[in-house]
Amino acid sequence: MPTNLFAAQPDSTGTKMIENLDEKTVSTAELIKQGRFHELLDQFLTFSIDLLGKLLIIFVLFFIGKWIIRKINKFLNNIFSKRSMDSALKGFLLNLTNVMLFIGLFILIINIVGSQTVSLAAIIGSAGLAIGLAVKDNLSNFAGGVMLLFNKPFKGGDYIQAQNTEGTVKTVGILYTTLTTIDNKTIYIPNGPLSTGVIINYTTQENRRIDLPIGVDYGSDVELVKKILLDAASQHPKILHDPAPFARMSKMNDSSIDFVLRVWVKSSDYWEVNFDLTEEIYKQLNANGLNIPFPQMTVHFADKNQVKLE
């Protein structure tokens, strides 16, 4: 009967691997020592042919796999397009599918050329911590992209303001959201900060209000200014009548009395109406003899006869 059931048993697998390695090392060393270079050359050629064969298999499998992945992406893109899927969601899903397919292709190639999946998993696991620390910001961006797609604060084609910039949403990628500005610049915003920051969406509401501040000189006729503002609003065809336009004096500044004109328009007409009203109001104020003040300073000089020098 064994005295110790928990006694350490010899690792036969590890011992065999070491013995095989020693045999190969000794064999190669003996060949060199004995001058049997032709046998050493045979071993080198065998190894080289085997390596070239595996490299050829890797390249063939890679290009075939890449072609299949391209076809799958095209197929998925057609399906998403037929279902009228949001462009931001479609871009994210296509990017994610593409990455997962390439990872699967990589594992398949490793298995076919001779490496075991268990060995590959061990390598990936051992490097996981270092990789995680190196790409922690990208992992945060990936999680942010998922949250954006689930919460849906915007969709493709919406005009948003976020992270001190604004533009039209084109796509939500795995790591970045792409915006196009009014002057046709492309902006990439990391999904992590975007998902946790303030997002202003100007497209979700059908109507928007324009607040147009107007300043005139002190002494101007208040009722006349209000009439000019309301007349300009009533004559524009794209201004909504419900809610009705609003014009009142809002503030008495240092050098002007300020009025505000508030009108409601369709969101798509916001900037056109804003510019039209600004131009029309300026013309009407000038036509009615009302001045728009600008900052100025009056300096009074003392009489020289009254100045006493000490």
Helix, coil or strand: residue 190? strand
Under CATH, which number does the domain 140-201 receive? 2.30.30.60
Question: Which pLDDT does position 122 carry in this prediction?
Answer: 57
pLDDT for residue 210 is more than 90 = yes
The model's pTM is 0.56
Query: Does the fold of domain 207-287 match that of domain 50-134?
Result: no
pLDDT higher than 60, residue 10: no
DSSP type of residue 306: G
- The three-class DSSP label of residue 5 is coil
Q: Which CATH number does 207-287 carry?
A: 3.30.70.100
**Residue 166 and residue 181 in contact, taking contact as beta carbons nearer than 8 Å:** yes
- Token pair for residue 262? 């508030």
119-154 per-position pLDDT tens digit = 555 555 655 555 555 556 677 888 888 888 888 888
Task: Parse the chain into domains and list their residue ranges.
Answer: 50-134, 140-201, 207-287
Query: What does the pLDDT look like over 41-71, one tens digit per residue?
Result: 676 777 777 777 777 877 887 888 888 888 8
CATH number of 50-134: 1.10.287.1260
User: Please, what is the average pLDDT of the chain?
Assistant: 78
Centroid of chain to Cα 129? 26
DSSP states of 36-71 = -HHHHHHHHHHHHHHHHHHHHHHHHHHHHHHHHHHH
pLDDT value for 34: 61
pLDDT score recorded for residue 1: 43
CA gap 294, 282 in Å, rounded:
14
Q: Give dist(CA 163, CA 3) in Å, integer.
A: 71
Among 155, 156, 153, CA closest to 200: 153
